[in-house]
């Protein structure tokens, strides 16, 4: 068990940062809660201080909240209060927040309430909806330490990221930033500034990363909608590990300017901003708000590709889908609860009249080896320098990822050109591979989507994430992926679980070695649907079809219903 005290780092800058954060929190003493450290499932606590109405509020998704505020069923202030109450406890339980600026949130909420009262109009489609923001996304006037001791207090943003600017104009209320790991290149959330974030489902497990502050907060009902980023799984993994929906779109579809991070300007693999939410429709709402703002007129790399809301609602999407299921990427077979979930969906899809084939994995090991090179073109130098020059300490998973740059060797421009070509060849091969599925489908079309695991394990114990291949593969291919919750694992049910096949290598040996039902008790189960590039709308429409194919898609265990 992780002691909450042990989560907190001890560098003088960290101590100052933690003290500053505590000062912000201490303004709301009645809304906080101490829970004994040995309670590992803390999901029910964030709702302790909420009234019945507030509980109703925090169980709404952003789409419903916007509607209720617009209709003046709830005021923006009341909505913010409900989420703030949950967020403060979420922080005490999971250490999910970095920066806190609740007072600014209230100012804005009051303004918005006044505006609606006086004009009868909302300022935009997110009028009054609280939205949480991952730490490395710039908010004007707020520090952007991004998990680096060396950046703390030196990175107070002088402007909003494009995504933040659009959210503000759409009427969203900003009130907290959330934790991300040191380097951002981690699928857990730990850094030497604010320490480690833990899962509210089971505090011995990670909420995922790098957008793990978001996922822990939203799972605790401390925010209805969060903004994360994903260059290897950093939206999808925390969504899966925390029972949420998360979308990583194709590169350059959603606004991405105004993020702080190491390796800005690296383009061999580019990340994507993406939403984490409690409903699939909120993912679409987020994309619609972003693209209706025509962000390509302010952010040069963005594609002028408006959000096709009719497609997102299903227009032109086949009623009978052809879905390929990836059960095993050929490197690390998933743990049994994930395989079981895939089988359940396979059966349900077939029963609902859809066409299901198996997806043959395309070289996930080589894909991983290649993307790891692309992440670390300078041999990891900038990461090491950022940490070392500030007297900072590398957290364990920082060392794990940076060790992928053998000997810290930097590539030459010619090497980098060759690696880009290797990446494009990999992508071209994958396109052919996808197109060729038309020979195996009943529809005669290539498959519409791939259903696959998000990771080989459910939320793992801290510092043990060892395989990114189920998410980073789609970053390498620049395909959109959406994660959705399919249930929660109960260790007590594990008797039904069959043994794992023999391991095929060190990573699989390690991950198979992790399999012990008790470890993952109460962990959420998520799956991933992957679509064609630039087809985010169709992907969300297909998710809707897939979810509605499963009679009760919470039958593996309920998530938000369970802790109401």
Of 144 and 192, which has the nearer Cβ to its own copies?
144
Q: Does 394 bind its own copies (CB under 8 A)?
A: no
Residue with tokens 């060797």: 409
For residues 163 and 258, what is the distance between their CA atoms, to the nearest angstrom? 8
Phi, psi angles (nearest 5°) of residue 293 = -80, 0
Q: Does 532 bind its own copies (CB under 8 A)?
A: yes
Q: Does 264 bind its own copies (CB under 8 A)?
A: yes
Which of 15, 39, 428, 564 is close enough to bind its own copies by CB under 8 A? 428
233 is in an annotated binding site: yes
Of 267 and 315, which has the nearer Cβ to its own copies?
267
Of 77 and 381, which has the nearer Cβ to its own copies?
381
Of 265 and 499, which has the nearer Cβ to its own copies?
265
Q: Does 413 bind its own copies (CB under 8 A)?
A: yes
Of 265 and 502, which has the nearer Cβ to its own copies?
265
Q: Which stretch binds its own copies (CB under 8 A): 26-34, 198-206, 332-340, 426-434?
A: 426-434
Residues 464 to 493: which contact its own copies by CB under 8 A? 477-478
Q: Which stretch binds its own copies (CB under 8 A): 7-15, 327-335, 391-399, 408-416?
A: 408-416
Of 56 and 305, which has the nearer Cβ to its own copies?
305
Of 76 and 477, which has the nearer Cβ to its own copies?
477
Q: In what order do the strands lie in the sheet with 322-325?
A: 97-100, 173-178, 130-134, 225-230, 272-277, 245-248, 481-488, 524-530, 449-453, 322-325, 355-358
Q: Which of 145, 211, 234, 250 is catalytic?
A: 234
For residues 67 and 84, what is the distance between their CA atoms, to the nearest angstrom? 20
Of 269 and 523, which has the nearer Cβ to its own copies?
269
For residues 208 and 182, what is the distance between their CA atoms, to the nearest angstrom? 13
Q: Does 311 bind its own copies (CB under 8 A)?
A: no
For residues 564 and 562, what is the distance between their CA atoms, to the nearest angstrom? 6
Q: Which of 85, 134, 308, 538 is catalytic?
A: 134
Q: Does 534 bind its own copies (CB under 8 A)?
A: yes
Q: Does 77 bind its own copies (CB under 8 A)?
A: no
Which of 51, 358, 369, 417 is close enough to bind its own copies by CB under 8 A? 417
Q: Which stretch binds its own copies (CB under 8 A): 129-137, 319-327, 364-372, 411-419?
A: 411-419
210 is in an annotated binding site: yes
Q: Does 414 bind its own copies (CB under 8 A)?
A: yes
DSSP per position, 438-475: GGT-SSSSPPSEEEEESSSSSSPBTT-----HHHHHHH
Residues 239 to 258: which contact its own copies by CB under 8 A? 257
Cβ-proximal residues to 61 (8 Å cutoff; 6+ apart), any chain = 224, 225, 277, 278, 279, 281, 282
What are the residues facing 190 on neighbouring strands?
196
112 is in an annotated binding site: no
Closest CA to 83 of 127, 53, 38, 42: 53
234 is catalytic: yes
Q: Does 381 bind its own copies (CB under 8 A)?
A: yes
Q: Does 15 bind its own copies (CB under 8 A)?
A: no
Residue with tokens 């029910």: 44
Based on the number of CB atoms within 10 Å of its own CB, is 179 exposed (0-12), middle (13-18) or buried (19 or more)? buried
Least separation in angstroms between residue 421's CB and its own copies is: 4
Residue pair 530/447 in contact (Cβ under 8 Å)? The answer is no
Cβ-proximal residues to 279 (8 Å cutoff; 6+ apart), any chain = 61, 62, 63, 245
Longest dimension (CA), the chain: 68
Least separation in angstroms between residue 427's CB and its own copies is: 3
Q: Which two tokens stand for residue 140?
A: 């004007």
DSSP character at residue 297 = G
Helices (H), 158-241: 162-169, 212-219, 236-241
Q: Which stretch binds its own copies (CB under 8 A): 30-38, 120-128, 321-329, 415-423?
A: 415-423
Q: Does 382 bind its own copies (CB under 8 A)?
A: yes
Helices (H) and strands (E) in the chain, counts: 18, 13
Least separation in angstroms between residue 377's CB and its own copies is: 4
Contact code string over 272-301 relative to its own copies, x by CB under 8 A: ------------------------xxxxxx
Least separation in angstroms between residue 499's CB and its own copies is: 39
Q: Does 435 bind its own copies (CB under 8 A)?
A: yes
Total residues binding its own copies (CB under 8 A):
44
Ranges of beta strands (E only) in 88-205 are: 97-100, 130-134, 173-178, 190-191, 195-196
Q: State the CB neighbour count (10 A cutoff) for residue 262.
A: 22
Contact code string over 354-373 relative to its own copies, x by CB under 8 A: --------------------
Strand duo 173-178 + 130-134: pairing: parallel
Q: Does 267 bind its own copies (CB under 8 A)?
A: yes
Q: Which of 210, 211, 242, 464 is catalytic?
A: 210
210 is catalytic: yes
For residues 274 and 134, what is the distance between their CA atoms, to the nearest angstrom? 10
Least separation in angstroms between residue 359's CB and its own copies is: 17
Closest CA to 369 of 272, 468, 454: 468
Query: Radius of gyration of the chain from Cα atoms?
Result: 22
Is the CA virtual torsion 132, 135, 139, 142 positive or negative?
A: positive
410 is catalytic: no
Of 359 and 411, which has the nearer Cβ to its own copies?
411
Q: Point out the residues that are catalytic.
A: 134, 210, 234
- Indicate the annotated binding residues: 184, 210, 231-234
- Indicate the annotated binding residues for substrate: 184, 210, 231-234
* Chain contacts with its own copies (rule: CB under 8 A): 257, 263-268, 296-301, 303-305, 377-378, 381-382, 410-414, 416-421, 424, 427-428, 430-432, 435, 477-478, 532-535
């Amino acid at each position: 068990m992780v002691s909450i005290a042990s989560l907190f780092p001890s560098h003088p800058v960290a101590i100052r940062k933690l003290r500053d954060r505590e000062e912000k929190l201490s303004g709301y003493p009645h809304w906080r809660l101490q829970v004994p450290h040995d309670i590992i499932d803390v999901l029910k606590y964030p709702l302790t201080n909420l009234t019945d109405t507030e509980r109703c509020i925090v169980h709404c998704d952003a789409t419903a909240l916007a509607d209720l505020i617009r209709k003046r069923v709830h005021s923006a202030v009341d909505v913010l209060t409900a989420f703030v109450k949950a967020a403060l406890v979420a922080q005490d339980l999971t250490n999910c927040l970095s920066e806190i600026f609740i007072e600014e949130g209230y100012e804005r909420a009051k303004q918005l309430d006044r505006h609606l009262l006086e004009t009868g109009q909302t300022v935009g489609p997110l009028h009054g909806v609280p939205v949480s923001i991952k730490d490395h996304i710039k908010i004007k006037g707020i520090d952007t330490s991004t998990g680096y001791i060396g950046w703390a207090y030196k990175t107070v943003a002088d402007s909003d990221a494009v995504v933040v600017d659009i959210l503000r104009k759409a009427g969203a209320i900003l009130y907290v930033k959330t934790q991300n790991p040191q380097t951002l290149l981690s699928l857990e959330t730990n850094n030497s500034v604010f320490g480690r974030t833990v899962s509210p489902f089971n505090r011995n497990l990670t909420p995922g990363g790098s957008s793990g502050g978001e996922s822990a907060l939203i799972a605790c009902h401390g925010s209805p909608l969060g903004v994360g980023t994903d260059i290897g799984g950093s939206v999808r993994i925390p969504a899966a590990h925390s029972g949420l929906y998360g979308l990583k779109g194709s590169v350059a579809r959603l606004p991405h300017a105004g993020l702080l991070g190491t390796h800005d300007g690296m383009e061999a693999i580019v990340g994507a901003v993406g939403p984490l939410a409690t409903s699939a429709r909120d993912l679409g709402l987020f994309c619609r708000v972003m693209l209706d703002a025509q962000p390509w007129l302010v952010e040069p790399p963005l594609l002028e590709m408006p959000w096709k809301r009719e497609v997102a609602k299903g227009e032109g999407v086949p009623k009978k889908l052809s879905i390929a299921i990836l059960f095993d990427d050929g490197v690390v077979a998933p743990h049994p609860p994930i395989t079981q979930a895939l089988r359940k969906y396979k059966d349900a899809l077939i029963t609902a009249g859809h066409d299901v084939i198996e997806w043959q994995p395309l070289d996930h090991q080589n894909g991983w080896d290649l993307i790891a090179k692309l992440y670390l073109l300078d041999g990891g130098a900038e990461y090491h320098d950022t940490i070392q020059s500030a007297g900072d300490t590398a957290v364990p998973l920082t060392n794990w990822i940076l060790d992928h740059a053998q000997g810290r060797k930097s590539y030459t421009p010619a090497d980098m050109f060759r690696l880009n070509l290797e990446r494009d060849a990999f992508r071209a091969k994958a396109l052919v591979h996808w197109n060729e599925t038309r020979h195996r489908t009943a529809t005669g079309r290539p498959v519409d989507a791939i259903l696959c695991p998000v990771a080989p394990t459910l939320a793992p114990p801290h510092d043990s994430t060892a395989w990114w291949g189920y998410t980073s593969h789609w970053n390498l291919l620049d395909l959109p992926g959406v994660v959705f919750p399919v249930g929660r694992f109960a260790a007590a049910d594990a008797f039904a679980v069959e043994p794992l096949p023999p391991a095929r290598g060190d990573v699989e040996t390690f991950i198979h070695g992790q399999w012990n039902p008790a470890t993952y008790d109460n962990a959420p189960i998520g799956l991933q649907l992957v679509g064609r590039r630039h087809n985010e709308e169709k992907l969300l429409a297909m998710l809707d079809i897939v979810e509605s194919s499963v009679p009760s898609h919470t039958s593996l265990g309920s998530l938000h219903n369970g802790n109401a």
